[in-house]
Amino acid sequence: MKISRHWKHLAATVFAAIVVTGLAGVPAHAGETDALYNSAQRNFTDGDDAAGRADLRALIGADPNDADALSLQAIWSHYAGDLPALADAMARLNAVDPGRAAGTTHVLAAIGAAVGTLPNPLPALIGPQTGIVVLGYGLLPDGALRPELVNRLIAAWLQSIAAPLSPIVVTGGNPQNGITEADAMAGWLIGHGVPPSRISVENQAGSTVQNALFATKLLRDVGATSAVVVTSPNHIRRAVADFIVAGTQVVGATTSLEQLVSQLPPPNRQAQRGIYLDATRTFELDTSR
């Protein structure tokens, strides 16, 4: 027998209330609120935002000072367009943890900037304090570059010619045949005339979130105060959001040409949802407790 989504959400809310209050009205223990937090994050990962927000409401009812829960509630209320819930969560968060509230506001601003980003194959005009960050893409089993990654590298190579003094960061782990994405990218760029001294290799990242977190640190290490992010058109908005959340000032978004026209319209709701989810991860809100 099929159960409607409405009744699933209602059941989740009732169950959450029971967990928080207990059958005898006993306040929830930390383990119980942690279970609600974990359930919320699983629901967000699985795409059931209403159930995730219901879990958070129950958690916040039990522990009004849980800054992570309040931050998540604000971010997902923003995605849902629930302005009263967003305002309530932000007001509570400002009272509990002003720093986390400021960070959450930054996350929402980053998402807005990313959604408004257009894929652009033209190199940006930048100076030596702006780095060029090239995001990896899965290698073939023998460690060779896939065509999509070659296209990203061509865009990065053109950007490097337009900005000959800018440092370059290649980011990506996921080794195949003992070769990481970043090492393969560095080899391609060097083979096409880019001096090795310009290239910094970040070869541990296994996701866009880690690309942003790890490459941001490397950019700072090489003295860059901003960056142009280079990736594919269907990836650029999520990448821009993650890098801004990670603390990089993104001044340009350069893309390869494939799928360019199809990615010019604003992202649909599902694509935006991926941006929100990634942003919460880059903000380093725990996925579980």
Q: What is the 3-state secondary structure (H, E, C) of 126-137?
A: CCCCEEEEEECC
Mean pLDDT value across residues 168-195: 98
Q: Which domains does the chain have, with CATH numbers?
A: 5-115 (1.25.40), 130-265 (3.40.50.620)
Mean pLDDT value across residues 102-112: 98
Which pLDDT tens digit goes with each residue over 205-226?
Answer: 999 999 999 999 999 999 999 9
Which pLDDT tens digit goes with each residue over 72-85?
Answer: 999 999 999 999 99
Mean pLDDT, the chain, rounded, equals 92
Q: Has residue 203 got a pLDDT over 50?
A: yes
Cα(190)–Cα(222) distance, integer angstroms: 18
Query: For residue 131, what are the contacts with CB-CB under 8 A and spacing of at least 6?
Result: 166, 167, 168, 169, 219, 222, 224, 226, 227, 228
pLDDT at 258: 85
pLDDT band at 19 (very low <50, low <70, confident <90, very high): very low
pTM: 0.89
pLDDT at 88: 98
pLDDT band at 9 (very low <50, low <70, confident <90, very high): low
pLDDT at 4: 52
What six digits make up the tokens of 82?
């629930």
pLDDT band at 28 (very low <50, low <70, confident <90, very high): low
More confident position, 15 or 177: 177
Q: Has residue 134 got a pLDDT over 50?
A: yes
Q: Has residue 189 got a pLDDT over 80?
A: yes
Q: Classify residue 141 as exposed, middle or buried by CB count within 10 Å of its CB (0-12, 13-18, 19+).
A: exposed
pLDDT at 21: 45
End-to-end CA distance of the chain: 34
pLDDT at 20: 45
pLDDT at 210: 98
Mean pLDDT value across residues 15-35: 60
pLDDT at 259: 87
pLDDT at 29: 73
More confident position, 13 or 232: 232
